[in-house]
Amino acid sequence: MSPVRRLMALASTTLPAKSGLSLWCPTSPSSLARRLPTRFSPPIGSRIASRGIVTASFANENREFVIIGGGNAAGYAARTFVENGMADGRLCIVTKEAYAPYERPALTKAYLFPPEKKPARLPGFHTCVGGGGERQTPDWYKEKGIEMIYEDPVTGADFEKQTLTTNTGKQLKYGSLIIATGCTASRFPDKIGGNLPGVHYIREVADADSLISSLGKSKKVVIVGGGYIGMEVAAAAVAWNLDTTIVFPEDQLLQRLFTPSLAQRYEELYRQNGVKFVKGASINNLEAGSDGRVTAVKLADGSTIEADTVVIGIGAKPAIGPFETLAMNKSIGGIQVDGLFRTSTPGIFAIGDVAAFPLKIYDRMTRVEHVDHARRSAQHCVKSLLTAHTDTYDYLPYFYSRVFEYEGSSRKVWWQFFGDNVGEAVEVGNFDPKIATFWIDSGRLKGVLVESGSPEEFQLLPKLARSQPIVDKAKLASASSVEEALEIAQAALQS
């Protein structure tokens, strides 16, 4: 197996089948709790220093609470600090980006639409609009007394002295620290062309802007990876009327979630929109022309696919940065935390994609790379930090995608999934436009996915997944429509 195939396979199989969508390690939440500290209160000296009573040569004025990272989690954490009256003059956010926190999912969806199809742009999707909240522009942070340090990532940390060092050499002080650094995109090595001009990875606005620039001049796009990024970028490329090919090592799209039958439905929809698939493929290297720009993707079997733009979407890894001395979860990656998002180091918390936390509903450790978890973990962590709130985080896994939603699209796609994709799958519907898949394990409904559901139907899904009712599998399978199947499942809630 080539190095690239191993990398792609690893990215696509980080969620083992026996555990459904949730990464896990043998550590039980109860044993983790025994090792983690009780609620942290910073030493009196550090609390005084963070309020400016003791002067020091630190670059940040707001020192009581510091958040590292400027993504979704940071934005929702900031809102929670404001709601509790603890932001003004107390909270500092340090980010490597030039922008205030924003709703990152837009970058592979509406942000990539061509100019004539009304693409999303900032400030339109700053947090917390995706969660139904206020749009927190840079001015909002100023008005709330939140100190923002832009384009200066943290590169060093001294946990004993409670200090941080940024890329430009700034020294920062904190009383309590929240790590919300998210993930970084998995990349192809330089030696096989991973950084050639025309090769793109998407995690930030600057990445998406660079891709848009390429798409505007492109004719042939190859997308490496058949997961969320691959599916969403391919749908956007269709809007640009580009020759689009998706290459991946698995035998179906989104293998970690979709059943083979469900994947086939989506693949056919993409083919109808002109997208080509190369499945079960291993990439040998990316080829460049005389100008140094990417010209083709060479496969392990010796064949090549012409491309003037290549997008790599093969997964991500936790952005640990200077925090590798904290307790890590080696099985699933990320910084180990308890149900209140406390690390094993007093006064330090981790939230969002970077946190390995106890998934209470399924009694296992997990790490979730999703905007919904970023929002909820941020809110839960800050409430626990500021109040007497001590309830363990009780997250229900949730994933969704929305594609082909630009003007002129013949078919818009919007599916939602809740729960765990374990057990036997029961599919109902013909994908015209609705289809539903129910996962049943030991007679109980564990997970459910619905495409093109109504608002009421989507609202039912988390209730079903959390309650895990006993359902009649044969009755469910014989349902003549998605609506009838959901009625059967809903009736099981009351039995």
Percent of the chain with pLDDT over 70: 89
Same domain membership, residue 348 and residue 310: no
Percent of the chain with pLDDT over 90: 87
pLDDT tens column, 48-101: 444 444 445 899 999 999 999 999 999 999 999 999 999 999 999 999 999 999
For residue 404, being part of any structural domain is answered with: no
- Alpha-carbon torsion (455, 456, 457, 462), positive or negative: positive
What tokens appear for 145 in the block? Answer: 């007394």
Strand partners, 66: 92, 177
pLDDT at position 38 over 50:
no
* pLDDT score, position 22: 32
Strand ranges inside 264-320, DSSP E: 276-279, 283-288, 294-299, 304-306, 309-312, 316-318
Same domain membership, residue 197 and residue 253: yes
The pTM of the full predicted model, rounded to 2 decimals, is 0.89
* pLDDT score, position 495: 78
Same domain membership, residue 327 and residue 179: yes
For residue 87, being part of any structural domain is answered with: yes
Same domain membership, residue 178 and residue 68: yes
Query: The CATH number of the domain where 246 resides is what?
Result: 3.50.50.60
* pLDDT score, position 389: 84
CA dist 479 to 250, 415, 435, 437, Å? 31, 20, 12, 12
Same domain membership, residue 310 and residue 335: no
Same domain membership, residue 309 and residue 195: yes
Same domain membership, residue 324 and residue 261: no
Same domain membership, residue 224 and residue 269: yes
How far apart, in whole angstroms, are the C-alpha atoms of residue 454 and residue 372?
Answer: 20
Residue range(s) defining the domain that contains residue 243: 190-314
Same domain membership, residue 138 and residue 80: yes
* pLDDT score, position 54: 47
Q: At what angle do helices 205-215 and 228-239 cross, to 10 degrees?
A: 40
Domain final residue, candidates 290, 314, 338: 314
* pLDDT score, position 375: 98
Choice among 36-40, 376-380, 386-390, 401-405 with the minimum mean pLDDT: 36-40
For residue 368, being part of any structural domain is answered with: yes
For residue 21, being part of any structural domain is answered with: no
Written as one string, the DSSP assignment of 335-369 is EE--TT-B-SSTTEEE-GGGEEEEEGGGTEEE---
128 burial class (0-12, 13-18, 19+ CB within 10 angstroms)? Answer: buried
Same domain membership, residue 179 and residue 250: no
Domain total in the chain: 3
For residue 441, being part of any structural domain is answered with: yes
* pLDDT score, position 43: 39
How far apart, in whole angstroms, are the C-alpha atoms of residue 247 and residue 211?
Answer: 18
Residue 494 — pLDDT band, cuts 50, 70, 90?
confident
What tokens appear for 338 in the block? Answer: 């308890």
**Region 214-237: what's the mean pLDDT?**
97
